[in-house]
Amino acid sequence: MMMRRIFLAVLFLAATALAEVPANLVVDGVPEFPKPLVEKLKPYFDYRTAAFQSWHPTKPEMLISTRFADTAQLHVVKMPGGDRKQITFYEDRVAGGGFSPTDPNTIIFAKDIGGNEFFQVYRYDVPTGEVALLTDGKSRNTPGSASRDGKWLAFSSTRRTGNDTDIWTVQPKDPASAKMVLQVEGGGWGASDFSRDGSKLLVNNYVSANETYIYLVDVATGQKTLLTPKGSAPVAYSGAEFSADDSHIYFTSDEGSEFQQLRKMRLSDRSQQVVAKEKWDVDNFDLSNDRTKVVYAINENGSDVIKVLDLTTGKEMARPQIPLAIVSGLEWHSNGKLIGFTLNHARSPADAYSFDTTTGKVTRWTESETGGLNPERNAEPNLVTVKSFDGTPISSFVYRPEATRFPGKRPVIINIHGGPEGQSQASFLGRTNFWINDLGIAVIYPNVRGSTGYGKTYLAMDNGYKREDTIKDIGAVIDWITNDPALDSSRVAVFGGSYGGYMVLASMTNLGDRLKAGIDIVGVSSFLTFLQNTSGYRRDLRRVEYGDERDPKMNEFLKQISPLTNAAKINDPLFVIMGFNDPRVPYTEGEQIMKTVRANGAPVWYLMAKDEGHGFAKRKNQDFQFIAMTMFWQQHLLQ
């Protein structure tokens, strides 16, 4: 992954004619890049982020992920503010990694090639730097849980059929020991925790965002026992972990609640008890090594709060004081005192932090560079609630440019998240800050129906035949813009990736008279061709969300609402961006909408990277993409 970054070369490529762009990019309709714009954007390209990955098993040292060259790699940090010692060097990204629970000489990590998401699992030997492949090198493999003694690693793999995610185990020091312990049907299976003696394994079966199940698997025999009942109404369970003596399991569930609550189950009789009842979703949690304490994050309307409970008393311990931010990767250190996590907020890129539960102190371990720019100039998000056509409240984060520098009504970009079960939260916007700080564009991040974080009823409000209600939500956001005296409703654009890309195209077919332009990144243009061509391990999971195209009635509905069917209505400028190796939304989805809309006579720009998948991961490709998108806004939104 680690190709040397020579930014002067990027500047040269950007300033030359498109005939001279790198061979890995397919570019059509995009003008040459003006050198002054490239120079002005350079500081925004030089910001980076860092993500906490794992604690050293005995020392207070961190494994983190950050990018110094072209893609994110693993680094070791031995103290807060210490040097980031890089240990992986690949052309492609490393998707994540972690120390063995007991062996400081073993790090497990996953990596794909060119964004194809066919991850392989590797063992990194710390003393020698040698890397051993633990999986077959061909199928899609997702690391799950390590046994408490570090002897075994559980992972899911499509090795058997190419579609079903069976559960396998392997000894990290003996790749030949890999064996399948559970054969399944479907692509939504993953291991979450081993019992104390390693004989049992907790496995989650993801059916949809509203429906998941937890199984107890006997590692020796492969026998699985359903722990969570299948009732008349679907329930979502996640994150199962054993108690210290294996008599209970801890997990989150929305059973009997709109929101995910932290619960525990007695395995002997399946009785359940709420451990922490909150008014919002418990997003993620982690038990201390001795299983006497738990840390969890609560998603309060798009920002996170961390809580720590003593499980023996049920009382809350010291609560870390953090800003309006997003928290991820919560993990206890083996000392039972420190908690590691990643935090990012509007005025700081994601960085690795720790919280000392004995002193209440929050410590920043990394301080990611911001290209020399002062992050304090970044806009803080303002949370607004918009009522949609049926009275449903739509929560949105609004980032406004500085009014004294940019007087008058400002143009607006509506940035729609993917998923569809995603959520826009209060976060650092990275390069998007250029559009706000330097171009004077307001950016709105709506959480339309179907978003997570607002209850299970809201999460299911876009399923099946209700799909186009989400477009009406975007219409309600435009109504709100019209009534805001600081915003220009005659200059509104839509922007989004993945499902957000579909939302861009659907908004342009349904709300085109209220929009000026749109950028579609790896978006679905036809549900029928998408379901036909997406990777097999994902197909049934997506049918639950979008509808089963094998049913004639649903097939006709999906055809009617697909942007490709209605592409004749798109007359505004469109920019389509795809990755050739995308296993989720094939690049052909973008290719077909590009050709069809161009036939309308509308301006269409097209960018496709041959070495990327579902979104660009490599720095040089990200730079090129952002320059092109910025030019697109300058030409088609600002004028």
Is residue 153's pLDDT more than 90? yes
Least confident of 159-168, 235-244, 332-341, 418-427: 418-427
- Could you give phi then psi for residue 396, rounded to 5 degrees? -140, 145
Is residue 520's pLDDT more than 60? yes
Calculate mean pLDDT across residues 151-157.
97
Confidence at 20, pLDDT banded by 50, 70, 90: low
Is residue 14's pLDDT more than 60? no
What single DSSP character describes residue 322? -
3-state helix, strand, coil in the chain (%, to 5): 20, 35, 45
Cβ neighbors of 195 (< 8 A, separation 6 or more) are 201, 242, 246
Calculate mean pLDDT across residues 330-357.
95
E strand or H helix at 73: strand 73-77
What are the residues facing 287 on neighbouring strands?
A: 294
Amino acid symbol at 395: S
Is residue 570's pLDDT more than 90? yes
> Residue by residue, what is the 3-state secondary structure of 115-169?
CCCCCEEEEEECCCCCEEECCCCCCCEEEEEECCCCCCEEEEECCCCCCCCEEEE
Residue 15: the pLDDT is 35
Residue 13: the pLDDT is 34
Cβ neighbors of 56 (< 8 A, separation 6 or more) are 62, 63, 76, 99, 104
Calculate mean pLDDT across residues 286-302.
95
Q: pLDDT, tens digit, for every residue of 582-637?
A: 999 999 999 999 999 999 999 999 999 999 999 999 999 999 999 999 999 999 99
Calculate mean pLDDT across residues 538-542.
87
CATH topology of domain 7-45+372-636: Rossmann fold (3.40.50)
Calculate mean pLDDT across residues 173-180.
97
Q: Give the rounded distance of the alpha carbon of 65 from its chain centre.
A: 15
Calculate mean pLDDT across residues 64-85.
95
CA distance 28 to 152: 49
Model's pTM, two decimal places?
Answer: 0.91
Q: pLDDT, tens digit, for every residue of 454-479?
A: 999 999 999 889 999 999 999 999 99
Cis, bond preceding 420 (omega within 30 deg of 0): yes
CATH topology of domain 50-288: Neuraminidase (2.120.10)
Is residue 9's pLDDT more than 50? no
Single out the residue of 394, 375, 377, 378 nearest to residue 386, CA to CA.
394
Cβ neighbors of 483 (< 8 A, separation 6 or more) are none
Confidence at 34, pLDDT banded by 50, 70, 90: very high
Residue 17: the pLDDT is 34
For residue 597, give the 3-state DSSP assignment: helix
Calculate mean pLDDT across residues 507-515.
97
Least confident of 24-28, 52-56, 100-104, 228-232: 228-232
CA distance 86 to 77: 9
606 to each of 8, 593, 598, 617, 636, how far by Cα in Å?
25, 10, 10, 18, 15
Residue 554: the pLDDT is 92
**pLDDT, greater one: 94 or 374:** 94
Q: pLDDT, tens digit, for every residue of 237-273?
A: 999 999 999 999 999 999 999 999 999 999 999 999 9
Is residue 11's pLDDT more than 50? no
Residue 529: the pLDDT is 94
Beta strands in 172-271 (DSSP E): 174-182, 189-194, 200-208, 211-218, 224-226, 237-242, 248-253, 261-266
Residues of the chain with pLDDT > 70, as a percent, come to: 97
Residue 269: the pLDDT is 95
What is the β-pairing status of strands 604-609 and 574-579? parallel
Is residue 322's pLDDT more than 90? no
Single out the residue of 170, 180, 181, 179 nearest to residue 221, CA to CA.
181
Q: pLDDT, tens digit, for every residue of 108-141?
A: 999 999 999 999 999 999 999 999 999 999 999 9
Report yes or no: 118 and 156 within 8 Å, Cβ to Cβ: no
Is residue 16's pLDDT more than 50? no
Is residue 2's pLDDT more than 70? no
CA distance 479 to 619: 37
Residue with tokens 């090594």: 289
Instruction: Indicate the domain borders of the chain.
Output: 7-45+372-636, 50-288, 289-368
The average confidence (pLDDT) of the chain is 92
